[in-house]
Amino acid sequence: MVAFAAMNASRLPPAVLIMGPTASGKTAVAMALANRFPIELISVDSAQVFRDMDIGTAKPDHSTLARYPHRLIDLISPEASYSAARSRQDALAAMGEITRAGKVPVLVGGTMLYFRALLHGLADLPQANATLRAEIDAEASREGWPAIHAKLALLDPSTAARLHPTDSQRLQRALEICRISGRPMSELLAESEKQRPAYDFLSIGLLPSTRTTLHEQIARRFDQMLLAGLDEEVWMLRRKYTLHLNLPSMRCVGYRQTWEMQEGLMPKEEWRDRGIFATRQLAKRQITWLTNSFEAENFDCLSPTLTNDILTRTGQFLTAYALA
């Protein structure tokens, strides 16, 4: 294991982000990093925060967690909710503890909203106002959305410049924010960008060179979940907790489909295919987020040299922190 000397006070402390879609091999990469470098792992997964939800979330098993502890796993009951704001707060607290202990925080997961909240903060935007939205819709009906775009340009030229004159949903929201807060949405978003943590980040993205192969891996993993007892796990959760289908925990991929099968809302013979399809849709959204919203160094998650390539890159990144 590489040992790192005390960090130069003039440098920001290092942190590593391992981001990727479901079934892309993130956990295996994280464990390889833990074998090589003085790191601690932080989970960035909106499903793995729930206790007793192990099989359907692909949570590392107890023996793996004993050897490779992950922070921010098993935090709350499946009856509760966990927000992006809390994820940011919890991650920053864990990062601070790890850094003070002389180690490097490695954040690994697939919940891109949580990564974005960590890196860019959360804008304090006003909640939607149904009455005001109805007023804006009425104005658009009378004058047209290009006229609404022109009104927005007077109040928030920066936002108007990046929106199409007929993008009704985003125009409505931007104008709503201006009228409620009295400030441009672009100004509020810029304030959130100032919340970037005081870390030097190495952002690594795991992306598939071919979607077909990732889809095959997703199908194999879902089949493993079925064999491991996903059906029984959901029945256990329903007996142990007071749950319903609209809770965030039961909206997780795999759990929703299993609940619907148990309730007779879908034929049992469709359960597997619907679960796999939902997981593929999740992966598609994760890939879109990762491609469009992050400046990451991307690696082919299907490459046989993936782990070695990331070990090499991480070693290069951390070498600078070996200097006294």
- The per-residue pLDDT for range 204-214, each reduced to its tens digit, is 999 999 999 99
Predicted confidence at residue 10, as pLDDT, reads 56
SS3 (DSSP) at 202 = strand
pLDDT of residue 191: 79
Which CATH number fits the domain that encloses residue 182?
1.10.20.140
Q: Are residues 275 and 313 in the same domain?
A: yes
Percent of the chain with pLDDT over 70: 96
Please count the other Cβ atoms lying within 10 Å of the Cβ belonging to residue 246: 8
42 plus 136 within the same structural domain: no
Asked, for residue 98, whether it belongs to a domain, the answer is: yes
The residue segments making up the domain with residue 188 are 130-193
The two structure tokens encoding residue 171? 């125009």
pLDDT (tens digit, 9 = 90+) per residue, 72-88?
Answer: 999 999 999 999 989 99
Domain co-membership, 19 together with 101: yes
Are 261 and 268 within 8 A, CB to CB?
yes
Co-location of 250 and 175 in the same domain: no
Together in a domain, 110 and 226 = yes
Same domain assignment for residues 62 and 134: no
Domain boundary among 148, 169, 193: 193
Evaluate whether 315 touches 16 at the Cβ level (below 8 Å): no
Return mean pLDDT, the chain: 93
Domain identity same for 220 and 185: no
pLDDT score at 208 = 97
Shared domain for 209 and 312, answered yes or no, is yes
| Residues 4-55: tens digit of each pLDDT | 444 455 589 999 999 999 999 999 999 999 999 999 999 999 999 999 999 9
Q: Does residue 6 form part of some domain?
A: no
pLDDT value for 293: 87
Q: What is the pLDDT of residue 2?
A: 44
Total domain count, the chain: 2
Residue 320: its pLDDT value, please?
A: 86
Structural domain contains residue 301? yes
Residues 187 and 308 in one domain: no
pLDDT, position 113: 92
pLDDT per residue as tens digits for the range 95-131: 999 999 999 999 999 999 999 999 988 877 888 899 9
Are 142 and 206 in a shared domain? Answer: no
Q: 109 and 176: one domain?
A: no
Where helices occur in the chain by DSSP H, the ranges are 26-36, 62-67, 84-100, 112-120, 130-143, 145-155, 157-162, 168-181, 185-193, 211-228, 230-240, 255-262, 268-293, 306-319
Residue 324 confidence (pLDDT): 26
pLDDT of residue 62: 95
Give CA–CA dist 128/181, Å, rounded. 12
Once rounded to an integer, what is the mean pLDDT over residues 245-257?
A: 96
Residues 151-199 have pLDDT tens digits of 999 999 999 998 999 889 889 999 999 999 999 999 988 877 677 899 9
- In this structure, the answer to whether residues 244 and 204 fall within a common structural domain is yes
- Of 193, 216, 237, at which residue does a domain stop? 193
Structure confidence at residue 188 (pLDDT):
87
End residue of a domain, out of 142, 165, 193: 193
Cα distance from N-terminal residue to C-terminal residue, the chain:
18
Note the pLDDT of residue 124.
Answer: 78
- Tell whether 9 is covered by a domain: no
User: Distance between CA atoms of 156 and 183, rounded to whole angstroms?
Assistant: 8
Residue 204 sits at the vertex; the CA angle it makes with 201 and 208, to the nearest 5 degrees, is 165
